[in-house]
A and B are shown apart, each in its own frame.
Chain A
């Protein structure tokens, strides 16, 4: 157990559906992240929140919408996705954002399939 819990573990959705991914961390960390992991590609950073404020958005399409209601919870709202969005979505947290806080704690991810 890493202290970061993601639900659901698996998700299959059609291109017209709306769904949400949930992440919760029990580590008292102040920074939370969404990463996308596609086959044979490096982990891609999508969003970063520090103290509930979005501090980075790496040119992610608007069909992905993050939400961070407090420092322990992070959501990724999905709508009108494309088949190429099928991937493993990983949530992570760190004590703080920035130098000296490169050590991330990852959740088990949500394996997303878009049909």
Chain B
């Protein structure tokens, strides 16, 4: 069965902390892995990864994919209260399938 598992389910940190969110997957014919941030309602795109070992970076956020071990991590350094959100991982597989994980809820307190 194709699946995406995210961990932890929730995380509470203080501003300035660094966090690492995990996404592991088991799918047939992997194509890509995507990260989204869902603050209120609309998930917004963060990164898409297709190759192992190549870090994608945007400001304080970065992500990397390991296609051998079938996982990705999303790092957020120097967290701010505005980083509080649900972070969703999704994996594209087969010809046109996309499967989501349940998400990690991050709360950043001042």
A contact set with B: CB distance below 8 Å: 2, 4, 9, 40-43, 45, 88, 90, 97-99, 102-109, 111
Interface size class of B (residues with CB under 8 A): 20 to 34
Q: Are A42 and B95 in contact (CB under 8 A)?
A: no
CB–CB B42/A40 < 8 A = no
Contact assessment for B45 and A103 in the assembled complex, using a CB-CB cutoff below 8 Å? yes
Tell me if B's interface is mostly helix, strand, loop or mixed: strand
Interface segment among B13-21, B57-65, B96-104: the answer is B96-104
Which of A103, A107, A108, A111 is B34 in contact with, Cβ under 8 Å?
A103
B100 near A106: Cβ-Cβ < 8 Å: no
User: Which of A2, A42, A90, A105 is in CB contact (< 8 Å) with B4?
Assistant: A42
Q: List 9 A-B contacts (CB under 8 A).
A: A2-B42, A41-B102, A42-B99, A42-B101, A102-B34, A102-B92, A103-B34, A106-B42, A108-B42
CB pair B102–A40 under 8 Å, yes or no, is yes
B98's contact among A4, A40, A41, A45, by CB below 8 Å, is which? A45
Contact of B40 with A108 in the complex, beta carbons under 8 Å: yes
Find out whether the CB atom of B100 lies under 8 angstroms from the CB atom of A105. no
Interface pair B96/A97, CB less than 8 Å apart: yes
Contact indicator A42/B102 (Cβ below 8 Å): yes
Complexed CA–CA distance, A105 and B40 (Å): 15
Taking A2-B42, A42-B102, A108-B42 as given, write out 5 further A-B residue pairs in contact, using a Cβ cutoff of 8 Å, ordered by the A residue number.
A2-B44, A43-B88, A102-B34, A104-B43, A111-B41
Residue pair A99, B4 in contact (C-beta under 8 Å):
no
Give every chain B residue within 8 A of A102 (Cβ-Cβ).
31-32, 34, 48, 90, 92, 98
The A-contacting residues of B in range 15-57, CB under 8 angstroms, are 31-32, 34, 36, 40-45, 48
Contact of B45 among A42, A99, A104 (CB under 8 A): A104
A7 → chain B closest CB, angstroms: 13
Candidates A41, A45, A97, A106; contact of B44 at CB < 8 Å: A106
Q: Is the CB–CB distance between B45 and A109 below 8 Å?
A: no
